[in-house]
Amino acid sequence: MDTQKIILIAAFFMTSMMLWQAWDKHNHPEKYQQLAEQKSGQVNNADASNTLINNEAPAIPVNADKNLPEKIIDQQQVSSLGNIVNVKTDVFDINISTQGADIRKASLLTYPIDVNHNKNPVVLLDETPAKYYIIQTGVLSKNENKNHIPDHKVLFSTEKNSYQLDGKDKLDVSFKWLSNDNKIELVKNYTFTKGSYEIIVKQTLINRSDIEYKGHFYRQLQRNNPGQQSRLLYTYTGGMLYREGGGFEKYSFDDMEEEVLNRTITKGWLAMIEHYFLSSWIPNEKETQYYYTRAVKSDYLKPRYILGMTSEEFSVPVNMQYTHQDTLFIGPKLQDTLKQIHPNLHDTVDFGFLSVIAHPIFWLLDNIHKFLGNWGWSIIVLTLIIKLIFYKLSEYSYRSMAEMRKLGPKLKALQEQHKDNPQAKNEAMMKMYKEEKINPLGGCLPVLVQIPVFIALYWVLLESVELRQADFALWLNNLSAPDPYYILPLVMGVTMFIQQKLNPAPPDPIQAKVMMMLPFIFTVFFAFFPSGLVLYWVTNNILSITQQWFITKQIEKK
């Protein structure tokens, strides 16, 4: 009995601590960011807001021609010379600079920051120093003429300063660059589609010179580190890449500082991911890409990290043109949508080390939601299904606890009889268990088996953007946020207290007091957890109480 309670208490406290740290990191990222900045001694200079810190061209991959210069442009910081072109669709509000035709800002119009108090949309990309996160494209040229290098530093022109979808199905936004001698032209075209977070990016190079043009197209994501992460359970923020046959691989900001990535990949993609959202480059699967990283440090700004890819060498004969096309995704990690873009892009939804359990749970929850249309009721039905799956295991556990409850008076008598001899007490207790054919761990181990399911469900509720700000009923209008009135955590505490009364009381008075404190402790913890998770726990407790009460009555009748 002692071992059973110790294992249960340890499991409960360990799970609570891990979940608390994960929740705290997600809901108070500014605290961790401030700690990281204080530790590094970095300060965001006000003057830096007008400074463009994006002047690192990609390193030429080791597989490429060695005659191509390693760096096309210098590392000095330069002021932005471009104008901002605004693009609005039904899902995007995007700013594109005429310098480099880079995407400098992207707001997701259908995802408000706060469902209750703030209708402003989530800003995923932003060029401000506090959250530096932009998307860049360009050309690395093998030609000796430096005026023929349309990297992300050159200025483009466009017909208008603003574009709107205005009910159309598609919107094309083009940027043109022409060399000083009018011999080389680069056209960048962004195609936006109604209701889609996919952007088709085409780069067309036109050669009017008297020699063949050779080079590489590059596409890269550049951002800073948003802050320190928990070392136990946390939602991953950083780089990720996928290669067919090798699966996906996370490439963190620390990895980018320690090692320069230079890898050849076919049928892959790269992405920068964070909680709920991502940006990703998905190239043509028939082409081989050279993946690279770079960590760029500054004296007065936060370090920035680059994850990008360079195409195979292309050549454009005289008076000819060549077009390169990629898919760019900027938006929420909607799993069904990501699967349609690439079969493995949904791996960017980070369910942690229990993904093998979490993905089936999400699949089941999502299909229940398609039928019911309400995430709260879907969680309740999912809890019922999980309870049915573990019914036999729970039944064994509750029968064991009911038998232990019957032995309560005898165990207490043994404890009094051998209170000065712990060894004799343990031997007598084990003998009694053997005679009564009771496993003292029978009520504990089934609970431990279900803990991975609980943690996996926690990640599903926390990481799935489909449940972000999901409405349930009454005051619960955001299942991904804590209950604003703490009603659900209080109900959960009451159900845990009832369960305690149905369980056998520990013979040790100290253990009994600790176990009676658990409902209060968990009520406090769960007051700050997503209400969807608390809803699962309450539903599970109610079903468990019903099952346990029924089994206990059966044992008592016998």
> What does each of the 558 residues of the chain score in pLDDT, given as a tens digit?
444 444 445 555 555 555 555 555 545 544 444 444 433 333 333 232 222 333 455 544 444 443 333 333 333 333 456 789 999 999 999 999 999 999 999 999 988 887 766 678 999 999 888 888 999 999 998 887 888 889 898 999 999 999 998 888 999 999 999 998 899 999 999 999 999 999 999 999 999 998 999 999 999 999 988 775 544 346 788 899 998 877 888 888 888 888 888 888 888 899 999 888 999 999 988 888 999 988 887 766 778 899 999 999 999 999 999 999 999 999 999 988 999 998 888 888 888 778 888 889 999 999 999 999 899 899 999 989 988 887 777 666 666 666 666 666 666 666 666 666 666 666 666 666 666 566 555 555 556 767 788 788 888 888 888 888 878 888 888 787 788 888 888 888 888 888 777 666 555 566 666 667 777 887 887 887 888 888 888 888 888 888 777 776 766 666
What 3-state DSSP class applies to 419? coil
Residue with tokens 């996906």: 248
pLDDT at 75: 33
Give the span between the Cα atoms of 172 and 192, in whole angstroms: 6
pLDDT at 377: 92
* Helices 391-406, 408-417: inter-axial angle, 10-degree rounding: 50
Give the span between the Cα atoms of 471 and 459, in whole angstroms: 18
pLDDT at 35: 40
Q: Is 551 exposed, middle or buried (0-12, 13-18, 19+ CB in 10 A)?
A: buried
pLDDT at 149: 87
What 3-state DSSP class applies to 10? helix
> Could you give the dihedral angle defined by the CA atoms of residues 494, 496, 501 and 507, in that order, rounded to the nearest 10 degrees?
-140
pLDDT at 418: 61
CB count, 10 Å around CB of 121?
17
CB count, 10 Å around CB of 109?
13
300: tokens are: 């007065």
What 3-state DSSP class applies to 404? helix
Give the span between the Cα atoms of 423 and 379, in whole angstroms: 47
What is the tens place of the pLDDT at every residue in 305-346? Answer: 999 999 999 999 999 999 999 999 999 999 889 999 988 888
26: tokens are: 């997600």
CA angle 266, 267, 268 (to 5 degrees): 95
CB count, 10 Å around CB of 314?
17
Q: Is 174 exposed, middle or buried (0-12, 13-18, 19+ CB in 10 A)?
A: middle
**Residue 50 CA, distance from chain mean position:** 31
Residue 200 φ/ψ region, left for φ over 0, alpha for ψ in the -120 to 50 degree band, beta for the rest: beta
pLDDT at 27: 52
Give the span between the Cα atoms of 546 and 534, in whole angstroms: 18
pLDDT at 2: 43
What is the tens place of the pLDDT at every residue in 404-445? Answer: 666 666 666 666 666 666 666 666 666 666 665 665 555 555
Give the span between the Cα atoms of 272 and 331, in whole angstroms: 11
Provide, for the chain, the percentages of residues in helix, strand and coil under a 3-state DSSP scheme, each rounded to the nearest 5: 40, 30, 30
Give the span between the Cα atoms of 527 and 492, in whole angstroms: 10
Residues 6+ apart with CB under 8 A from 516: 500
In angstroms, what CA-CA distances link 113 with 175, 234, 349? 31, 21, 20
Domains of the chain: 2-21+359-557 (no CATH), 42-350 (2.70.98.90)
pLDDT at 428: 67
pLDDT at 199: 95
